[in-house]
């Protein structure tokens, strides 16, 4: 029974694979966006640009697979308590892999969505000073977490091998620095403009 279900699924995903005469099933894209970064234990937020690159493969006219990377702007925040003054700087990078869905309704622009598993690298640098009562310095720690990437949007332009998309992007990185009692989640929300090339 299981083999039968798997067989039908495989047939459905590959039935409409492009023929040798149609466009390549491969594509590459790059884009820039602007969005908001949040940390669950931080009352503030950061707005800034980000970039992304991706490579994908159309399994058929509906489904595909995609792998890509996202690069977000470094941001900093400061604070102070009786122990000393501190300045934190955060760096984030993500790689993702997952399926895509493309839907072309009649009389409307094509819609794409991607849902991926991410592997994220999150780094935190702390610079501390103590009002000249003790030597200042810095410390750094990094963590790698598995999260989720979701993107949805529509094609705004298509000609020959080039198309452009406007996409809403979302990244969640849960439980960063899980070994600490003060671990936190990180989220990104943004809108990006992407250029896609399909040979």
Partner 1 sequence: MNRSILLAFMTCLLISGCSDDKARERAPSNTGYSAYIQALLSDDGKQALVGATLYQDGNKITLVAGDMIVARQGKNSVALKGAKEEITFYSGWLPLNDPLQPVEFDIEYQPITAREDRWYPADIAYVDNGPGRYVGELSWSLTFPQRILLSAPSSGTLYSFKEDLITIQWNTESADVDKVRINASLECLKETKQIYSGSNSGEVIITVEDLFRNNAQTAQDILANLLVQALTLGLASGTSNTRVTECNVDIYVVAESEAELGNPFSGGTIVASQSDNATIRINLTTPLEL
Is 95 a binder of partner 1 (CB under 8 A)?
Answer: no
Is 78 a binder of partner 1 (CB under 8 A)?
Answer: no
Is 42 a binder of partner 1 (CB under 8 A)?
Answer: yes
Which tokens go with 192?
Answer: 């990006």
In angstroms, the CA 84 to CA 70 distance is 34
Contact 55, 27 (CB under 8 A): yes
Q: Which is nearer to partner 1, 128 or 158 (CB)?
A: 128
Of residues 57, 63, 75, 86, which one binds partner 1 by CB under 8 A? Answer: 86
Which tokens go with 99?
Answer: 């399926």
Neighbour count for residue 194 (Cβ, 10 Å): 24
Q: Which is nearer to partner 1, 108 or 131 (CB)?
A: 131
6 phi, psi to nearest 5 deg? -65, -40
Per DSSP, the residues of 109-154 read --EEEEEEEEEEEEEEEEEEE-TTSS--EEEEEEEEEEEEEEEEEE
Q: Which is nearer to partner 1, 17 or 40 (CB)?
A: 40
How many residues line the site for partner 1 (CB under 8 A)? Answer: 32
Q: Which is nearer to partner 1, 135 or 199 (CB)?
A: 135
Strand pairing of 63-72 and 75-81? unpaired
Is 134 a binder of partner 1 (CB under 8 A)?
Answer: yes
Q: Which is nearer to partner 1, 69 or 84 (CB)?
A: 84
Of residues 48, 84, 99, 174, which one binds partner 1 by CB under 8 A? Answer: 84
State the residues that interact with partner 1 by CB under 8 A.
41-43, 79, 81-84, 86, 88, 124-126, 128, 130-131, 133-141, 177, 179-184
């Amino acid at each position: 029974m299981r083999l039968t279900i798997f067989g039908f699924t495989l047939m459905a995903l590959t039935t409409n694979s492009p023929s040798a005469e149609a466009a390549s099933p491969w594509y590459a894209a790059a884009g820039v966006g602007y969005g908001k970064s949040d940390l669950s234990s931080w009352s503030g937020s950061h707005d800034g640009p980000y970039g992304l690159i991706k490579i994908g493969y159309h399994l058929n006219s509906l489904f595909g697979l995609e792998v890509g990377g996202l690069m977000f702007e470094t941001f900093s925040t400061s604070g102070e308590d009786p122990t000393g003054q501190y300045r934190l700087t955060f760096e984030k990078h993500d790689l993702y892999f997952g399926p895509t869905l493309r839907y072309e309704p009649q009389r409307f622009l094509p819609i794409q969505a991607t849902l991926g598993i991410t592997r994220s690298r999150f780094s935190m640098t702390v610079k501390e000073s103590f009002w000249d009562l003790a030597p200042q310095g810095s410390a750094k720690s990094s963590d790698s977490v598995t999260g989720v990437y979701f993107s949805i949007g529509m094609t705004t332009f298509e000609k020959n091998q080039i198309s452009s998309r406007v996409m809403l992007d979302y990244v969640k990185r849960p439980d960063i620095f899980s070994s600490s009692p003060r671990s936190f989640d990180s989220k990104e929300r943004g809108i990006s403009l992407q250029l896609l090339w399909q040979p």
